[in-house]
Structure 1
Amino acid sequence: MIDFSIATADDAEAIHELNYLTFTEEIPQHQPNIERKRIDRFHDQNTYLIGKEDDRLVAMIAIRKHRPFSLEEKGVTLDETLTDPAEIRLLSVRPEYRNSRTFMQLMRFLMVYLERETIDHVYISGTTREAKLYARFGFTPIAATLGSGDAQFVPMLLSRATYERSVIADVLRPLHFLAGPVEVAPTVRQAAQQAPRPHRTASMRQLDQDLRGRMCQLLDLPHVSMAVGSGTLANDIVAQQLTGHGLILNGGEFGQRLIDHAVRAGKSFDIHTLPSGHPIDLEQLAHQLRQTAYNWIWLTHCETSTGVLYDLDAVKVLLDQRTALVVDAISAVGTGHFSYDGCTFVTTVSGKAIGGLPGLAFIGHADRVLPSLCIPRYLDLGLYAEGVAFSGSSNLLLACQAALDAL
């Protein structure tokens, strides 16, 4: 197994040896020497990304941000409008590892590093024999071929945008097994970079109205209110709207959170425990509903702690018109086509599967809601129902619009 990391001083000797192997013995850029080592002239300025198997260096690539770049020294004119570009140097994989996934893994590690360091543009002198391979990653030629014989290179530029559009981007994209944030599309990031709009302007009100209209379509509900905050805020707002005696279906961690919301809001309710990792036992639920007349039932649509997507349509069949169905759909909306018609309240967010930036809390509701002096202002759904209630971020709204386009 090859481990990829950023090189330390202890890796210097191995780097010099691989540098010599590739750029003196294989590609005749430099004169041979007895030591069979090649110390790069920019060694102290380079950041080396390396791959090692059993402590043996098998692959490397160097990133350098100091100007002038190597291409500039060779007479290539570079784009001066780019912000903080870098150059890629000394790309090398040992010959015996070239018919494996080593190069792909090295490039994946490179893209993660560039993302982390917010480097959006990099230059490279790509060997002519690998020009097609570079093109697959989104590298674009910017000047005529340099060098001669077996040491010919094509000056190339890679941008974040061309990489995202490349045929290899989906293959290299790292898989994350942690909870959020989701990866957002380049169009979402671009939309979020527009100049902020004052939250009381007509354009902000129109943006708010347009986004809530699209969310109504997505949820299949007549009303959607929007607040700046997380899914926790959305559920706290909903908890304030619940009256009478209710029932919470608890199938895991997020069902337990609904219980906490209801307790903190001082609500009266029973708990129906669902078997962990299994669908709802409809017979047991129906039996409990016959025993007690509930004003509302609250459940998560997708219980991500156990990986279960509950059948809302089957639950709807069991309820009469006097029982409000309240759904935490935060981890479900955007993963498929779901209709929440027949639900009284539904919560979701701009992040998660919708793919926008985190920060917007949505509450879908079947009926209009009026403000209440008995509810704290920030938790009063009625204040959000007519549009922009408090200071908001047009950037988050624009990013969410772009995410819905991508979705």
Structure 2
Amino acid sequence: MLQIGAYCFKQALSPQELEQVHRLNYQTFVQEIPQHADTGTGQLVDKFHEKNRYLICLKDNELVGMISWCDQPPFSIASRLPDPSILEQPGLRPVEIRLMAVVPTERNSLVLPGLVWALFQQSKTMPWTHFVISGVVEQRELHTHLGFEPLGPPIGTGRAQFTPMWLPVGKLDETMGRSMQLWQKRLERSSRTQQTA
């Protein structure tokens, strides 16, 4: 767990936290990005939920952002790849990053950088070789900035278009290493401030 001011970054574990994840999924992937049909339940449970792990950001105990990851095949990105066997190359240990979502009022805050930092730290302890994503077409500039490269053309219709992409884990250190170092320093300052308060 990591606390920065009002923001708490952690893995979702409790039923209450997972319920908030399902609500944020609904708000983002049903109402905002019409990827799934509206069932009227106010919740969207991901079809890979049983395999997913969720890194979340809470503000005053309310979920304001999350990233899910899964490192066990089959991966959802396989259906978007021209050649799914690319994920089965010898020595490849992909981790699929899925369902990145931040509530609109927090999109220019610490939430997204904090989630990326938490995932970056997680990657250092895991045997992963590549991050794989189905990147929303409108966010391609962000994904490219992080170092992701397309594995095929965009798939989907309307606003729900996704580009299969991947990024070698080591390359993230090249593209985001400086930002991650700055984040680390910020965290250390925040920790010292909280200890003296």
Q: Paired residue for 2:13?
A: 8
Q: Which has the bigger relative contact order, CA under 8 A and spacing at least 6?
A: 2
Instruction: In structure 1, give the amino acid aligned to 2:37.
Output: Q
TM-score (norm 2): 0.83
1:37 paired residue among 10, 32, 43: 43
1:118 paired residue among 104, 107, 127: 127
Task: Give how far 1:82 is off.
Answer: 4.1
Q: Paired residue for 2:78?
A: 72
Map 1:2-401 to 2 at 5 A.
2-10=7-15, 11-77=17-83, 78-79=86-87, 80-166=89-175, 168-173=176-181, 174-175=184-185
Task: Give how far 1:19 is off.
Answer: 0.5
Instruction: In structure 2, give the amino acid aligned to 1:112.
Output: Q
Task: Give how far 1:169 is off.
Answer: 2.4
2:123 alignment partner, SS class: helix
2:124 alignment partner, SS class: helix
Report if aligned partners of 1:139, 1:158 keep a CA contact under 8 Å in 2.
yes
Describe the superposition over 1:16-55 as per-residue Cα deviations: whole angstroms up to 9, x where unpaired: 1000000000010111122210011111100000000010
2:64 alignment partner, SS class: strand
Name the CA distance, whole Å, in 2 between partners of 1:22 and 1:7. Answer: 18
**Unmatched runs of 5 consecutive residues or more in structure 1:** 178-407
Task: Give how far 1:146 is off.
Answer: 1.2
Q: 1:101 to 1:35 in 2, by over 3 A?
A: same
Report if aligned partners of 2:80, 2:164 keep a CA contact under 8 Å in 1.
no
Report if aligned partners of 1:137, 1:169 keep a CA contact under 8 Å in 2.
no
Q: 1:60 to 1:68 in 2, by over 3 A?
A: same
Q: Paired residue for 2:193?
A: none
Instruction: In structure 2, give the amino acid aligned to 1:7.
Output: A
**Unmatched runs of 5 consecutive residues or more in structure 2:** 1-5, 189-197
Q: Paired residue for 1:198?
A: none
Greater share of strand: 2
Instruction: In structure 1, give the amino acid aligned to 2:138.
Output: R
Name the CA distance, whole Å, in 2 between partners of 1:9 and 1:84. Answer: 28
Name the CA distance, whole Å, in 2 between partners of 1:35 and 1:127. Answer: 24
Q: 1:133 to 1:82 in 2, by over 3 A?
A: farther
Report if aligned partners of 1:85, 1:122 keep a CA contact under 8 Å in 2.
yes
Describe the superposition over 1:269-300 as per-residue Cα deviations: whole angstroms up to 9, x where unpaired: xxxxxxxxxxxxxxxxxxxxxxxxxxxxxxxx
Instruction: In structure 2, give the amino acid aligned to 1:169.
Output: G
Greater share of helix: 2
Task: Give how far 1:75 is off.
Answer: 4.1
Identity level (%): 32
1:16 alignment partner, SS class: helix
Name the CA distance, whole Å, in 1 between partners of 2:152 and 2:145. Answer: 18
Name the CA distance, whole Å, in 1 between partners of 2:74 and 2:50. Answer: 15
Describe the superposition over 1:215-251 as per-residue Cα deviations: whole angstroms up to 9, x where unpaired: xxxxxxxxxxxxxxxxxxxxxxxxxxxxxxxxxxxxx
Task: Give how far 1:98 is off.
Answer: 0.6
Name the CA distance, whole Å, in 1 between partners of 2:24 and 2:70. Answer: 18
2:45 alignment partner, SS class: coil
Report if aligned partners of 1:114, 1:120 keep a CA contact under 8 Å in 2.
no
**Structure with max Cα Rg:** 1
2:26 alignment partner, SS class: helix
Name the CA distance, whole Å, in 1 between partners of 2:132 and 2:179. Answer: 22
Describe the superposition over 1:76-101 as per-residue Cα deviations: whole angstroms up to 9, x where unpaired: 42242343211011110111111223
Q: 1:43 to 1:30 in 2, by over 3 A?
A: same
CA RMSD, 1 decimal: 1.6
Name the CA distance, whole Å, in 1 between partners of 2:169 and 2:44. Answer: 31
